[in-house]
Amino acid sequence: MIIDDMVKVLAGDEAPEDIKHYMTLLSLFGLSTVTNNARVSIEVPTDKAVISANVYNLCVASSGTGKSRSLSYLEDLMLKEADDYLKVKGKEYLDKADPFDMESVNKLVSEGVRVAPMFKSATDAGIGALRSIMDVVGIYGVNIAIDEIGSVLTKEYDMLSDTLLNVFDKGNSKPNLRRSTGVKATVNPIPHSLMMFGSATMLFNCKPEVESSLFSLLEAGMCRRCCFAVVETKTNKYTLDYSGETKTKIDYISNRIKNIAVDLEQKVLVPSEECAKFYSNYEMECRDASTYISEFNTLNIIYVQNKHWLALKLSGIIAASEMSETIELEHFKKAVEIVDESYNHLNSIVNRKEKYEVLVDYLLDKGTTESEYTLTKELPFYKEIKNKRQFLELAKGYAYDSNITLQIHDKRNITFYSARGKTKTDLDKPLMFSYSTDMSEGYYTNTEGTWKDFYKVLSADGLCYSAHSFKGNKRSNEAALTGFQLIILDIDGGVDLETAKILFDEYTYLIATTRNHQIEKKGIIADRFRIVLPMEYALDLEADTYTQMMKNMFDDLPIEVDRLADIGRMYFSSKDCEHWYNEGRLFNADKYIPYTQEEETYKKESTRLSKKNINGISQWVIRNQGIGRNQSLIKLALLLVDKGFSHSEAKEEISRVNEQFDTPLSKSELERTIFKTISKKEEREIEEDDEDDYYEEDEFYKVDK
pLDDT digits (tens, 9 = 90+) for 139-151: 889 999 999 999 9
Q: How confident is the model at residue 699 (pLDDT cuts 50, 70, 90)?
A: very low
pLDDT at 126 (0 to 100): 85
Q: Where in the chain is the domain with CATH 1.10.10?
A: 355-421
Question: Which comes out higher in pLDDT, residue 99 or 43?
Answer: 43
Mean pLDDT over 299-303 rounds to: 96
Mean pLDDT over 159-185 rounds to: 74
pLDDT beyond 90 at 91? no
pLDDT at 267 (0 to 100): 95
Q: How confident is the model at residue 695 (pLDDT cuts 50, 70, 90)?
A: very low
Q: Which amino acid is at 330?
A: E
Question: Which comes out higher in pLDDT, residue 449 or 660?
Answer: 449
- Percent of the chain scoring above 70 in pLDDT: 94
pLDDT at 274 (0 to 100): 97
- Can you tell me the distance from the alpha carbon of 7 to that of 15, in angstroms, rounded to the nearest whole number? 10
Domain 355-421 bears CATH identifier 1.10.20? no
Q: How confident is the model at residue 254 (pLDDT cuts 50, 70, 90)?
A: very high
pLDDT beyond 80 at 256? yes
pLDDT digits (tens, 9 = 90+) for 339-366: 999 999 999 999 988 899 999 999 999 9
Residue 66 Ramachandran class (φ > 0 left, ψ -120 to 50 alpha, else beta) = left
C-alpha separations of 495 from 72, 557, 573 in Å: 76, 12, 21
C-alpha separations of 64 from 28, 69, 236 in Å: 22, 10, 6
0.85 cut: is pTM over it?
A: no
pLDDT at 703 (0 to 100): 36
Cβ atoms within 10 Å, residue 165: 17
The per-residue DSSP string of 640-695 comes to HHHTT--HHHHHHHHHHHHTTSSSPPPHHHHHHTHHHHHHHHHHHHHHHHHHHHHH
Convert 247-314 into a string of H (helix), E (strand) and C (coil).
Answer: HHHHHHHHHHHHHHHHHCCCCEEEECHHHHHHHHHHHHHHHHHHCCCCCCCHHHHHHHHCHHHHHHHH
pLDDT at 180 (0 to 100): 46
Q: Where in the chain is the domain with CATH 3.40.50?
A: 2-97+145-182+191-350
Question: Which comes out higher in pLDDT, residue 248 or 630?
Answer: 248
Mean pLDDT of the chain: 89
pLDDT beyond 80 at 677? no
- Can you tell me the distance from the alpha carbon of 210 to that of 571, in angstroms, rounded to the nearest whole number? 58
Q: How confident is the model at residue 686 (pLDDT cuts 50, 70, 90)?
A: low
Angle between helices 273-290 and 307-321 (to 10 degrees): 150
**Is 198 strand, coil or helix?**
strand
Non-local (6+) Cβ contacts of 125 within 8 A are 179, 181, 183
Nearest to residue 565, comparing CAs of 499, 500, 470, 468?
468
Mean pLDDT over 212-239 rounds to: 92
Q: Is 471 exposed, middle or buried (0-12, 13-18, 19+ CB in 10 A)?
A: exposed
- Can you tell me the distance from the alpha carbon of 241 to that of 445, in angstroms, rounded to the nearest whole number? 49
pLDDT at 681 (0 to 100): 63
CATH T-level fold of 2-97+145-182+191-350: Rossmann fold (3.40.50)
Question: Which comes out higher in pLDDT, residue 244 or 34?
Answer: 34
pLDDT at 433 (0 to 100): 97
pLDDT digits (tens, 9 = 90+) for 486-527: 999 999 988 899 989 988 999 999 999 999 999 988 889 999
- Can you tell me the distance from the alpha carbon of 189 to that of 119, in angstroms, rounded to the nearest whole number? 19
pLDDT beyond 60 at 156? yes
Distance from chain centroid for Cα 258: 44
Q: How confident is the model at residue 698 (pLDDT cuts 50, 70, 90)?
A: very low
**Long-range pairs for 205-210 at CB < 8 Å and ≥24 separation?**
205/355, 205/358, 205/379, 205/380, 205/381, 206/150, 206/380, 206/381, 206/384, 207/380, 207/381, 207/384, 208/381, 208/384, 209/154, 210/150, 210/153, 210/154
pLDDT beyond 70 at 236? yes
Cβ atoms within 10 Å, residue 361: 16
pLDDT beyond 70 at 193? yes
- Percent of the chain scoring above 90 in pLDDT: 60
Q: How confident is the model at residue 647 (pLDDT cuts 50, 70, 90)?
A: confident
pLDDT at 187 (0 to 100): 74
Q: How confident is the model at residue 266 (pLDDT cuts 50, 70, 90)?
A: very high
pLDDT at 687 (0 to 100): 57
Taken in order 203, 208, 214, 215, is the CA torsion positive or negative?
Answer: positive
Q: How confident is the model at residue 109 (pLDDT cuts 50, 70, 90)?
A: confident
Q: Which amino acid is at 153?
A: L
pLDDT beyond 90 at 313? yes
Q: How confident is the model at residue 62 (pLDDT cuts 50, 70, 90)?
A: confident
Residues 493 and 527 sit within 8 Å (Cβ to Cβ): yes
pLDDT beyond 80 at 181? no
Non-local (6+) Cβ contacts of 634 within 8 A are 673, 674, 677
Q: What DSSP state is assigned to residue 453?
A: G
